[in-house]
Structure 1
Amino acid sequence: MQNFLESFTLKTLSRPTTTTQDVDLDLSDDSDSDEKKPIEDDQETLLDLSVKYPDYDNTGSKTYEKACRKFDVVPSSKITRKMDSDKDTTLDLKHYGLDSKGTMAVAMAMVVNTTLTKLNLKGNNIGESGMLYLQVMMSENCTITSLDISENNLKSFGAKSIGMMLHDNKFLRELNIGGNGFTDLDAPFLTKKIEEHMALHYLNLSHNLFGDLSGNSFEHMIAENASLEELDLSWNQFRIIGAKKIANGLKENDHLKIVNASWNGYDDDGAAAFGDVLANNKYLIELDISCCRIGPEGFGKVMKGLKSNDALEVLKIGKNNIPDSAVETAVDLLLTLDPSTFKLECLDLSDVMLTGKSQERLAELKEPFPELDIIHGYTDSYGKRRMVGFGDMGQEALLCLKEYLEECNMTVTELFSRFDEDGSNSVDYDEFRQGIRDEGIPLSSEQVDHLIKYIDIDGDGDIDFSELVLKIKEITKKRAEEVAQRDAESAKRRR
């Protein structure tokens, strides 16, 4: 294979007030080299990418080992074994502790390797240097079709680098860049290149900080892209305006089949926009708008959208404020629809508790729509129904508290210190209630009561800081399991 590049010119990927180190991909054994000078912002940079590949290295394993020596990284036998295998096509290194230097070594080896098609570097703290090496590698690699670099906290530098990577690489079909701290200011660097990419089928942008200010960027990306089939925008900060912009894009899109827009804050007006999508989009087969602060009015407008929809198969709208009366109204509407054109197979109302009367009304749908599965009530991580208890309602309240912390960019320690005036790392129930009110956390008195019972593990009448931290860890793990299962189900559908 021809050497990676004799020389390559790349605009510096830098943020204001920061500098980036020159990227050196020279694998020669000569360790005496001049000290690299910082790269000034916005200047043209000549990257020394001349690589002396070991003889007969057609898998990249020898290049990887030599790069590890150069960067003083301990080589991984798993990585070399995967590269040398003529059967494996996936290099799964999620949470592998690579850091930036380990990522740089892998990136250099992947320039040579032509058998691996899936690369998973989730949660490796790859850093700016590692991301830059990946970007350059992907500009050369035409065999990797699936890339996961989620949970690496790449932020603005990473957004710019990923945008340039998508500009250069036209073979990528699946990309997961969730959990990287991207904000509204980063959205243009990503959305424009995604909009123009004609091979990307799956895109995960979940667990970032995108909100209404980037709504226009996402509207254009969704409306103009002609290749995406599955899009995940869950766990961001879109509100009513953002919901309307996303909905406008979906009304113009005729390729997307699966959209996960859950765990945002659309309220009823935003839900109405998604109802309009269902009334006008004939291609979407799955929509998830769970836990988006949707009330009975918004739920009703989403259901009305089904009247003229003959494509949607899965609608997930659970974990919202949907009372019995709204569900019964929805049943009346569904009974007026033509079973021969109605395609809905799953209506997910998870964590929506219904009375016996409402459940009887739902049973009326079985005869005209025998294929329709309606999920309701509280569920565990695997979707099995179970009865509501104080722990369940406490978990939901704790999730609201956790979301508040994320929106305010506040740590648990900072919040608790505001409640704990005497610094004892413990507050009584009244102090906890007063702290919730003073902070303006959107929880009702009943929710706070359930939250207190759920957090106070030892039942001593006080809430300890350690108890709150433990419960937040538990609920985070549980939600991560739910997300993982949903992702696995989506992957099965893509296959």
Structure 2
Amino acid sequence: MSSQSSEQEEIPTEVVFEAEVEVSSEEVPMEEWSSYILELPEDNKKKIMAEAGLYHAGSGEICGKYIAMSDSSVFRHLYYNYPAVLDPGITDALLIPEKPIIYPDDGQELYLAVCKEMNQCPVRSFVKGLVEEIIDLRYYCVSPQGVRAMSLALSNNCIVKVLNLTDNFLTPDACYHLSEMLASNTYLEELNLAGCRVGPVGAKRIFDGLTKNKTLKVLNLNRNQLTDEGMEHLAAVIVKGIHLQQIYLSYNCIGGKGAGVLAEALEFHNRFTHVDLSWNNLFTPLGTFNLLSRFSENKVLQELNLSWNSLSGARLGTAVKNALCAPNLKRLNLSNNRLNGEAITNIIGGLVKAKKLITLDLSYNPMTPDDALQILMKVKAPSVKVHNVLMENVFVTGEFLMFLRTIKEMKSKKNLVVTYGGIIGEFKPKGPDPRELILDRADFLAKKPKKRPVDIALVAMQLLKDNNEIMPSKDFATAVQGACAALDNDLLEEMANIFAGPRSAKAKTIDVKLLVDYMKRKWPDRKLPPTPPPEPEPLPLPEPAPKDAKGKGKGKGKKK
């Protein structure tokens, strides 16, 4: 062991550099720094590559292997070059505003971003429709909260022209966002909100956006319960001027007050081409008369729908006559009202002025055959240009058909189309005799009880025999039921209708003689039993013999 340790101690050690260290409180000049005068070996690959331009040290740091430790009094070493920390963006975040995100005009990315922000599920059909002309979301149960995202996506969209939201529930907040969309959108042409239950409050918010929109042409608000209050909001924006051409207000409980308010607004702006006011309450003459008078001043009105409004009376007939004066009116729908008589006379008086009228619909009105003939006689005039006269469910006579045939033979009227319900006066339907049915039923019910069947014919004959030729229907029913015949009241009433007696203002009567006459022909074998001859009067009893004073009968006389 000692020999091995001695051999190790004898190995010579090569001294590379020996620094002289002097203990002094004075700082050593930089020229005498050991690290400053250190020369790196010639075989440093990184240095050689850096000189050749093949290596870049980055921050300029040199590996600590080649740097000697310096004195502790040196605050900054030459080779310890640490750059300052760069600003991570705090200055820009505080002083420079954030650049807004610019989305494409189709609105797809914007819609998805807003849905993500609101934590709403996007509607796939709406996303696809943003690059098409029509977005159809009928009966889609669109969330009212999701309407905000849809409105934002459509605000700058330049592709979609039709938005259909039929039968989706829209709250006032959803209507507000649709109004904001209408105020900024410049391509949408049709908005369908039928059955969305927006009400007067929601309608007011939608109407607010119409004043700024210049492209929307069709607005459908059918079945929204707008009432007269909603018409006041509509009138307010009509006065300001809107660019709508077609407005549909069917089934909204609009009465005479709403019609009057709308008439006042049309005095300032009257540019509608299609107006639908069907299924409302426009039977009040005052407001409706003013409204139809305003329509007569509209020079671009083409179609007017007033069906299902209970229109009746001569005054409303005159109002319709005024509406026919609109110079470009092509279709007038008056079906399912109560027009007849003088009202029809007043209406057809305006057909001469309706030069462009194509279709006049008077179907399902309680018109008489004379009213229908009167219309046809007016249409025959060359000055009347109407092509289609619709009178469904209106019955006519043979004279009407002959007159119609004569009109169609005219060259100017060969394309005239006239419809009607049916013909009366010549066609008599054949069927079972109601007298047979009623009497067979009565006979069956009367004989149905097994214990005590009753012959209804004998009951009627007995009533006639008792000098009851004409009876009130109630007395007849009482007499039949008194005879234990099991007939219900409806059947007895029908018998009184078929075998009716003379009319009476107080009660309905039945002709028993006519009833018995038909029963005898129907059942000739049924007769009342013969009346037995009157019993002879009994003979008077003989008077008893008179008694004597003593109360004895006749006895032997006294001997003389």
TM-score normalized by structure 2?
0.54
Deviates more, 1:109-118 or 1:205-214: 109-118
Distance of aligned partners of 1:281 and 1:78 in 2 relative to their CA distance in 1, 3 Å threshold = closer
Write the distance in 1 (CA, Å) between the matches of 2:276 and 2:100: 39
Residue 295 of structure 1 is matched in structure 2 by 340
Superimposed CA distance per residue, residues 348-368 of structure 1 (whole angstroms, 9 cap, x where no aligned partner): 112223344433333332123
Shift of 1:159: 2.2
- 1:217 match: 261
Amino acid at match of 2:342: E
Deviation at 1:132, TM superposition (A): 0.9
Contact 2:379–2:386 under 8 Å retained in 1: no
Match of 1:354 among 393, 396, 401: 396
Contact map agreement 1:224 1:253 (CA 8 A) in 2: no
Compute the TM-score of the two structures, normalised by the length of structure 1.
0.61
Distance 2:103 2:214 in 1: 28
Residue 282 (structure 1) aligns with = 327
SS of residue in 1 equivalent to 2:210: helix
Q: Percent identity?
A: 23
Q: Is the 1:54–1:63 contact (alpha carbons within 8 Å) kept by the matching residues of 2?
A: no
Q: In the alignment, residue 367 of structure 1 is paired with which amino acid? A: E
- The answer on 1:176 being equivalent to 2:220 is yes
Partner of 2:304: 259
Residue 92 of structure 2 is matched in structure 1 by none
Q: Distance in 2 between matches of 1:204 and 1:311?
A: 22
What is the rounded CA distance, in whole Å, between the counterparts of 2:240 and 2:266 in structure 1? 11
Q: Which residue of 2 aligns with 1:454?
A: none
SS of the residue corresponding to residue 252 of structure 1 reads coil
Tell me the alpha carbon deviations over residues 363-399 of structure 1, each in whole angstroms, 9 at most, x when there is no partner: 3321231121112228xxxxxxxxx9xxxxxxxxxxx
Show the counterpart of 1:205.
Answer: 249
1:227 Cα deviation after fit: 2.7
Q: What does 1:135-174 correspond to in 2, within 5 Å?
A: 135-174=179-218
* 2:273 equivalent to 1:273: no
Q: Which amino acid in the other structure matches residue 213 of structure 1?
A: K
Partners of 1:282 and 1:99 in 2: CA distance: 45
Q: Please tell me whether the aligned partners of residues 284 and 311 of structure 1 are also in contact (alpha carbons under 8 angstroms).
A: yes
- Looking at structure 1, the residues matched to 280 and 209 of structure 2 have their Cα atoms a distance apart, in angstroms, of 23
Select the residue among 106, 110, 118 that pairs with 1:59. 106
Q: SS at the partner of 2:407?
A: coil
Match of 1:327 among 372, 379, 387: 372
Q: Which residue of 1 aligns with 2:508?
A: none
How many Å apart are 1:301 and its aligned residue?
1.5
Q: Which residue of structure 2 lines up, in the alignment, with residue 312 of structure 1?
A: 357
1:97 aligns with 2:141: yes
Map residues 383-398 of structure 1 onto 2, 5 A cutoff.
Answer: none
Deviations 1:171-217 (A, max 9, x none): 21111112111111221210231344352111111110111012222
Kindly state the Cα deviation for residue 324 of structure 1 after the two structures are TM-superposed: 0.5
Aligned partners of 1:70, 1:200: CA distance in 2, in Å? 35
Q: 1:376 aligns with which of 415, 420, 437?
A: 420
- What is the alpha-carbon distance in structure 2 between the residues aligned to residue 308 and residue 137 of structure 1? 42
Call closer, same or farther: CA 1:305–1:78 in 2, change over 3 Å: same
Higher relative contact order (CA 8 A, sep 6+): 1
Contact persistence 2:393–2:421 (CA under 8 A)? yes
Within 1, Cα distance between the matches of 2:373 and 2:113? 67
Q: Match for residue 117 of structure 2?
A: 70
When Rg is computed on C-alpha atoms for both structures, the one with the higher figure is 2
1:119 counterpart letter in structure 2: L
User: Aligned AA for 2:385?
Assistant: K
Question: Which of 215, 228, 246 is matched with 2:291 structurally?
Answer: 246
Residue of structure 1 equivalent to 2:522: none
**Distance in 2 between residues matched to 1:141 and 1:273, nearest whole Å:** 39
CA distance in 1, matches of 2:296, 2:163: 33
**Is the 2:213–2:243 Cα contact (8 Å) retained in structure 1?**
no
Q: Supply the distance in 2 between the matched residues of 1:260 and 1:351 (Cα, whole angstroms).
A: 19
2: CA distance, partners of 1:265 / 1:74: 46
C-alpha distance in structure 2 between counterparts of 1:265 and 1:284, whole Å: 22
- Equivalent-residue separation in structure 2 for 1:81 and 1:277 (angstroms): 44
CA contact (8 A) 1:202 1:231 kept: yes
User: In 2, are the aligned partners of 1:148 and 1:175 still within 8 Å (CA)?
Assistant: yes
- CA displacement, residues 229-261 of structure 1 (integer Å, 9 cap, x when unaligned): 111111111112233122111122212111111
Tell me the equivalent position of 2:230.
186
Q: Secondary structure at the match of 1:351?
A: strand
How big is the shift at 1:53?
Answer: 7.5
Which is further off, 312-321 or 325-334?
325-334
For 1:171 and 1:276, locate their aligned partners in 2 and report how far apart those are by CA, in whole Å.
Answer: 31
Structure 2: how far apart are the matches of 1:130 and 1:303? 46
Separation (CA, whole Å) in 2 of partners of 1:241 and 1:326: 25
2:152 corresponds to 1:108: yes
Cα offset, 1:163, TM superposition:
2.3
Matched-pair contact (CA < 8 Å) for 1:218–1:249? no
Assess, with a 3 A threshold, how the Cα gap between structure 1 residues 266 and 361 changes in structure 2: closer, same or farther: same
| Contact 1:198–1:226 (Cα < 8 Å) also in 2 | no
What is the RMSD computed on CA atoms of the aligned residues?
2.4
Distance between the aligned counterparts of 1:72 and 1:357, measured in 2? 72
In 2, the alpha carbon distance for the partners of 1:198 and 1:167 equals: 5
Instruction: Give 1:168 deviation, angstroms.
Output: 2.4
Q: In the alignment, which residue of structure 1 is the partner of 2:483?
A: none
- Does the CA-based 8 Å contact 1:95-1:121 persist in structure 2? yes
Question: How many residues are treated as equivalent by the alignment?
Answer: 324
**Partner SS, residue 112 of structure 1:** coil
The question of whether the paired residues in 2 share the 8 Å contact of 1:63 and 1:109 is answered with yes
Q: In 1, are the aligned partners of 2:329 and 2:354 still within 8 Å (CA)?
A: no
Gaps of 5+ in 1: 1-50, 379-387, 389-428, 431-495
Q: Matches of 1:357 and 1:219 in 2, distance apart?
A: 42
Alpha-carbon separation, structure 2, partners of 1:349 and 1:221: 34
Q: C-alpha deviations, 1:9-52, integer Å up to 9, x for none? A: xxxxxxxxxxxxxxxxxxxxxxxxxxxxxxxxxxxxxxxxxx99
Counterpart residue type for residue 124 of structure 2:
S
- Deviation of 1:95 (Å): 1.5
Distance, in Å, in 1 between the alignment partners of 2:270 and 2:264 is 12
Unaligned ranges ≥5, structure 2: 1-97, 423-428, 430-488, 491-560
CA distance, structure 1, for counterparts of residue 249 and residue 336 of structure 2:
17
Partners of 1:272 and 1:262 in 2: CA distance = 16
Q: Using the TM superposition, give the Cα deviation of residue 56 of structure 1 relative to its aligned residue in structure 2, in angstroms.
A: 4.1
How many angstroms does 1:74 deviate by? 2.2
C-alpha distance in 2, partners of 1:355/1:243? 33
Rounded Cα–Cα distance in structure 1 between residues aligned with 2:225 and 2:320: 26
Q: Taking structure 1 as reference, are residues 319 and 159 closer, same or farther at Cα in structure 2, changes over 3 Å only?
A: same
Q: Secondary structure at the match of 2:166?
A: coil
Distance 2:282 2:127 in 1: 42
Partner of 1:79: 126
- 190-199 or 142-151: bigger deviation: 190-199
Closer, same or farther: CA 308–140 of 1 in aligned 2, 3 Å:
closer
